[in-house]
Structure 1
Amino acid sequence: MNGPELSVCLCAHSATGVPNTHGRMSGRRVGFWFSDKKRRRMNLDAFVQFCADRGVEVVEIDLTQPLGPQGPFDIIIHKLSDVIVEAEHNSQSQQLLDNFQSYVSAHPDTILLDPLPAMTQLLDRFASCQKMSQLNSSLRDWHICTPPYLEVHSGSELSSIQQAVITQGLTFPLICKTRVAHGSYSHEMCLLFSAASLADIHPPCVLQSFVNHGAVLYKVYVVGDKHCCVERPSIKNFPSGPCDRKTIFFNSHQVSKPESNSDLTSLDEQMVALPPPSSDAVAALVKELRAQLGLALFGVDVIVNISTHTLTVIDINIFPGYEGMPQFFSSLLSHIQSVLDQHASAGSS
């Protein structure tokens, strides 16, 4: 298997080949920029070699230097989330972003995977929740929904937050997430069990009704027209309704990784396992989100409500780690080829 490994995976496609050195990809130049952490997680050095073996040059971009001499690039793959978030309060990160945007503006024929505006929208959980809430109407026939949510802005009074929770139809327990949806701090969350516990939140943030889902999360990884559904551990069930339980603070990475072993994920042995999401429903979800978001490389976190068996969308992720997606390298290179071929066809017509 190419890239990071995980044992449990339900795929919506079979492995496909990629062009060899005689295919149309030969001679094309792909630039990429990822953080050091992202490079390691995705085993980018192996991807570079994988592409080289098929006649495709993949070049790492240095944002600290002018991009002009580093080009030309037919296509650039990137995850600039760190840089965009840090640019708001860091002049060095802003300069890196300016370098990138200057090159893109001067070379409009260079394709970005994915476009910066489309990607940036998901860095804000307020905007992300608004996107997800649209699924309640567009995918109702597939029994797909999103939990009720509330945007809590800086400076909000506790009493107004408590009233808004009631008005918006949220039910306890609640899960609280930071407004910024990227970076290590974005994984810090908490579970709230009463109106009084709302004093523990730190706005700006998002509150969502917690949905019991049998401690199983499904990560749907999307690469163009291919997707894969991977099972992960998740938070255990809690009794519905307010109670005097203290707020539980946790890091989502520590409860949803393949190797996670937390008290927060330990499920009652009497719980009957739920069936995985319908492959047709997941395909419909992916199709709708691709159209809504204008993205080709993203992930969706979904759970199955233990009471209604409704497929519930709880998060959307920019260019995830793709841990557990078989043939990820092949899928990514195949998508790059497809995008470049479409671009070439459009240019010659």
Structure 2
Amino acid sequence: MRVHGEVSDDEAAVAVVGETVPSSPPPASVVQPLVVGYALTKKKVKSFLQPKLLALARKKGIHFVSIDETCPLSEQGPFDIILHKLTSKEWQQVLEDYREEHPEVTVLDPPNAIQHLHNRQSMLQEVADLNLSNGYGEVCAPRQLVIMKDPSSIPDAVAKAGLTLPLVAKPLVADGTSKSHELSLAYVEASLPLLDPPLVLQEFVNHGGILFKVYIVGETIQVVRRFSLPDVNTYDLGNNDGIFRFPRVSCATNNAEDADVDPCIAELPPKPLLEKLGRELRRRLVLRS
């Protein structure tokens, strides 16, 4: 399962870019390679296809082959797996057509499932609907409100929904672009009309300035600690327009693995709770990885 459309380095491994696959069946004594076709942005290719991962893939007999977007997908391959990170409607249609023609190929993940993740409202609502708790803790979501347009209507909408300031404002669409990562913290009612819809407003919960990013691939779980928005009581709330803007919060450069923070805040979430969360979200979101 990919929680933010991310691809873990432990996922499926990688092989030489552009390497071709034998057209004739290999001898019985030869293990047939696993062919992974990838359609990624240049940025993702640079960050994902690292030499160490390429070397590991070669040892495992896994071949990563670049998909040419300018050529029909049906004329490329054959593939065992297609790994993609493109969001255009044209690409989504190409991939859906290919899935119908080649149901034997695993697509990570189906476009309709990823579209569900691109909407922060629907994504977080699945978490809220879980009402997940066990002996290790519980998983819940802050109350939220979606504003599609007309920023002048935000104060009335917030009051009607009974939300309590401060509020975190997040772009409704989470498509991996820099704009989709821009967050704002609004703590004065007069600042609400300055926000830019469409967006999701969520009640802010103090959490010690630390967040945990959870990567789940199959049954493997990896948790990393990142710096997050600081508690609101650390701000000087009287010296601006009532809005704090943050370009990006949970990126890798905000790594907090070695930070000197309160052990109670830094303690990783219990693995049994994360395992149950992963299973439930994979089922609800129809994700395969």
Q: Please give the range of the TM-score, normalised by the shorter of the 2 chains.
A: 0.7 to 0.9
Aligned length in residues: 256
Q: Structure 1: which 5+ runs fail to align?
A: 1-14, 88-93, 262-266, 298-349
Cα separation, partners in 2 of 1:54 and 1:271, compared to 1, 3 Å: closer
Q: Is the CA contact 2:36–2:80 (under 8 Å) kept in the aligned structure 1? A: yes
TM-score normalised according to structure 1 size: 0.65
TM-score by length of 2: 0.77
Match of 1:129 in 2: 124
Pair 1:180 & 2:173 matched: yes
SS in 1 for 2:269: coil
SS in structure 1 at match of 2:232: coil
Question: Counterpart amino acid of 1:39?
Answer: V
The 8 Å contact of residues 95 and 111 in structure 2, kept in 1 or not, is answered as no
What is the CA-CA distance between 1:271 and the residue it aligns to?
A: 6.5
Secondary structure (helix, strand or coil) at the match of 1:227 reads strand
- Do 1:178 and 1:204's aligned partners in 2 also have CA atoms closer than 8 Å? yes
- How far the C-alpha of 1:200 sits from its partner, in A, is 1.4
Instruction: Give 3-state SS (helix, strand or coil) of 1:151's partner.
Output: strand
Deviations 1:17-71 (A, max 9, x none): x9xxx99973332211111111112135653442222222221111111122312
String of CA shifts for 1:142-194, please: whole Å, max 9, x gaps: 32211111011123642xx3233234332211110001111111011110012
Alpha carbons of structure 1 residues 258 and 31: separation in structure 2 relative to 1, 3 Å: closer
- Whichever residue aligns with residue 247 of structure 1, its letter is I
Residue type at the aligned position of 1:54: K
> Of 237, 246, 249, which residue of structure 1 is paired with 2:245?
249
Aligned to 1:58: 64
* Distance across 1 between alignment mates of 2:263 and 2:216: 29
Deviates more, 1:211-220 or 1:230-239: 230-239
For the residue of structure 2 that corresponds to 1:40, the secondary structure is: helix
**C-alpha distance in 2 between matches for 1:111 and 1:117:** 14
Q: Distance in 2 between matches of 1:258 and 1:122?
A: 20
Percent identical pairs in the alignment equals 33
Which of 275, 289, 296 aligns to 2:281? It is 289
The answer to whether the 8 Å contact 1:63/1:99 transfers is no
For residues 287 and 129 of structure 2, the distance between their equivalents in structure 1, rounded to whole angstroms, comes to 17
Partner in structure 2 of residue 170 of structure 1: 163
Deviation at 1:286, TM superposition (A): 1.7
Amino acid of the structure 1 residue aligned with 2:191: S
- Which position in structure 2 is the counterpart of 1:213? 207
CA deviation after TM superposition for structure 1 residue 214, in Å:
0.7
Secondary structure of the structure 2 residue equivalent to 1:211? coil
Provide the rounded CA distance (Å) in 2 between the counterparts of 1:287 and 1:139: 14
For 2:189 and 2:31, the matched residues in 1 are separated by 58
Larger RCO (alpha carbons 8 Å, 6+ apart): 1
Question: Structure 1 residues 201 and 77, CA, compared in 2 at 3 Å: closer, same or farther?
Answer: same
Q: Are the structure 2 counterparts of residues 45 and 129 from structure 1 closer, same or farther at C-alpha, using a change threshold of 3 Å? A: same
